[in-house]
Amino acid sequence: MSHTTDSRDSTAPQDYYSSLDDEGSLVEKFKNIDDKTQFYTAMRRLADPLTQNFVLDFGNEEAWCASDLGTNELELLLSKPRDRCFGTRWINIWAPEEQKESIRAITRYYGVSERLQGMMCTEPVHPEPETTPTTLPTKRTPQSPHVVPSFQHEVDDAENALKHLAVESDDYRKSASASFKNLTFAQVTNQIWHFSSVDHGPRYTCIGYNTLFVIPTLSQPNGKDLPDGKRLWTWLIQCDDGTIISIQENPFPGRKGVPITEAKPVLDIVRRNIRFIFAGVSRQHFAMSESESLITIRVRHFSDLGPDQANIKQEDGPSLLFYYIFDDWVSSYGLIAKREHKYGVALEKLRSQMLDRPVVDLVNELHWLGRRLAVLKRLYQSYELIMRRLLQRQRMLRDEARSSHPAAIQYGATFGDMEFVDMRQSSVVSNSGYHNPNEKSVGVQLSSTAVARFERLVDRINLYCLSEIENCLNEKESLTFLNFNLIALKDSQAVEKLTRITILLAKATILFLPVSLMSAYFSTELVGVKNGYTKTQYWVSFTVIFIASILLLTVFGYASDTVEGSEGFLATDNMGITFSRLFDRLWGRKEMRILMVGLDAAGKTTILYKLKLGEIVTTIPTIGFNVETVEYKNIQFTVWDVGGQDKIRPLWRHYFQNTQGIIFVVDSNDRDRVVEAREELQRMLNEDELRDALLLVFANKQDLPNAMSPAEITQQLGLQSLTRRAWFIQSTCATTGDGLYEGLEWLADALRKTNRD
């Protein structure tokens, strides 16, 4: 539990800082941010790119802050316990590669392992070097990333000293490619965005994680397979004396003189959460509007702000600060949680392009979009893993506090698979043969208010982030299927159009062949033929033969099912109507577009080809769609059979346009999924494009012994509630064909009735 270790009476903050430093530098730097002038000065320093760190001490009555402290000044702060008026100390460090000595001094005081210290001080991954002259190190950067460190600097670190000495060996240099010499912790976090770290010690709890910041005014591309934005690694440490240490990666590693037009937008975003929390500590910051109240964070007791703020105890400050630094909700909201996030917009744009002009190149764009979404999904899963391990540790610590005989608690690990770590730790315990009952568990206990907030954050990440990413991934899969289906449909329509044109040309040739023969006959030089016929006789013969040819071609077209339909094969500008339409009117021939859907394995494709071919065909699960024409009582049913797998169901809506009737196929023997079938049916019927469509339900597989009756299926699907839609349920057996044509009979009668109305 967070606490101060000073047992003396509370003193004035100036006296406390004076007691730490005889020279008075700390007294000069620490300012009261409850004062309006000092508060706005501190906020400006937080936005300054040159600010390297700050220390904020606060309690119920006081809040004092200093920035840009050196290593000696930080050691002075740690040399004596804090005064009682300060329940929480927040040490924030930016650009850690420039403050390695300060980080080592702080972490060494709290017993952080040397391995973890080394990772915190790792040089960041620098951008690709440009062809520019090598510049000398400035005061801001104690060591240039392009200059080999001196041996004197490496003496303090034996591993690094040996490493640089070994580099001089040619043999070592030749084998470097086969080792991990060139692999640094910064490269790991830069390559594996979902990498995370959870470590516990006797005096601290430490977590590390990547955060992705989206800069609205600047483009931050990271390649095709990574989301756009600025990725930064963060270390967050809670200590047992109420100290919180936050270390954020430098957004401009190895760069000097970054233009203010580039630095300011980036720093405004990456330091936004820090500023919100910092401002919430001061009495000068109050939520002046409803929108600002969403980002107002309180980690300090304010008795004059109402009962909610009065409930914050001074000892809750460190735990709440630890939570709010981790929960950068504003960044998550802009990245994926809000409804119009850029990935949803990109998917909708691709969908519009597919419907307008489906091409294979769109599948490539969907592939890379899916890769970026997968990276985001793993990133948020890493947050979930961190919180799960934190909450698990808190349960252990609370159980130990309640028990007089604490159980053996295993040490946490910095990285690695959780199951592997548990296996390794359990083997260590078993090999030891005994456990010391006096051994104290590692980790720092959070307050109950912070634990409750972490539990809530787990739910929010699952509900608003991971579920939204999963929906986008499912929609991406659906759009991939849709694109291929639309390409296949487009090709099918092109082939059909080409076939119709070919038939039209063939019929035109056949149409004029008899009159050509007649004209040739009238022009022959045979005796009795030449000059034997008048002009009137020629045109009468021409008309009779032409009309007879048209009639014969029309009869042949209907007999062979090669009539061009609404376009007609003899339409002319002068006539204004085709002979095929004329025969359609005379014979009452109509067309109807039917969409046949249902859950997978319901028997849709078997029904389609039983109607089309009159026989049973061996089918496989439909991935895209099947389309066939079935004629029944002068009505041509164009039946679209669309797959029913859960990932394909979102595609159904793309086939709703111009649909006159729906055949919904239900597996009467599948009682476990009848509720799922009802949900899909109700969701489909709520679409505006299907408001006038007829509904025919095929209760299929009635030959099975445990099949539900049509009456039971009617009740399960809630068909009685469809008072404004014409519907009919028909018991069927796809393998025998029973009930199939009875259903088409109802569709035909309902269509005629609709046309009469």
Active site residue 645: yes
**189 annotated as a binding-site residue:** no
Say whether 107 counts as a known binding-site residue: no
Find the radius of gyration of the CA atoms of the chain: 39
700 is in an annotated binding site: yes
Contact 252, 229 (CB under 8 A): no
Q: Do residues 228 and 221 touch, judged by C-beta distance below 8 A?
A: yes
| Cα–Cα distance, 406 to 430 (Å, whole number) | 18
Q: How many CB atoms lie within 10 A of CB 163?
A: 13
In the set 248, 645, 682, 720, the catalytic residue is: 645
HEC letters along 134-166: CCCCCCCCCCCCCCCCCHHHHCCCHHHHHHHHH
| Cα–Cα distance for residue pair 159/161, rounded to 1 Å | 5
User: What order of strands is seen across the sheet that includes strand 625-632?
Assistant: 625-632, 635-642, 590-598, 661-667, 694-700, 727-731
644: annotated binding-site residue?
yes
In 3D space, the residue among 204, 207, 277 whose CA is nearest the CA of residue 241 turns out to be 204
Total number of residues shown for the chain = 757
Instruction: Provide the token pair at 570.
Output: 């003899």
Cα–Cα distances (Å) from 226 to 197, 217, 223, 252, 379, in that order, read 21, 19, 6, 19, 11
Is 509 known as a binding-site position?
no
Distances (CA, A) of 84 to 5, 60, 87: 8, 10, 7
Instruction: Write out the two tokens for 148.
Output: 């080999």
Q: Is 88 annotated as a binding residue?
A: no
Looking at residue 80, its amino acid is: K
Question: What are the angstrom distances between the C-alpha of 49 and each of 44, 138, 268, 535?
Answer: 10, 15, 10, 101
Residue 601 marked as a ligand binder: yes
Does 603 carry a binding-site annotation?
A: yes
* Residue 534, annotated as binding a ligand: no
Task: Confirm or deny that 205 is annotated as ligand binding.
Answer: no
* Matching residue, tokens 């608690």: 409
Residue ranges for the binding site for Mg(2+)?
A: 605, 622
Could you give the residue numbers annotated as active site?
645
Annotated binding-site residue numbers for GTP = 598-605, 644, 700-703
Q: Which residues are annotated as a binding site?
A: 598-605, 622, 644, 700-703
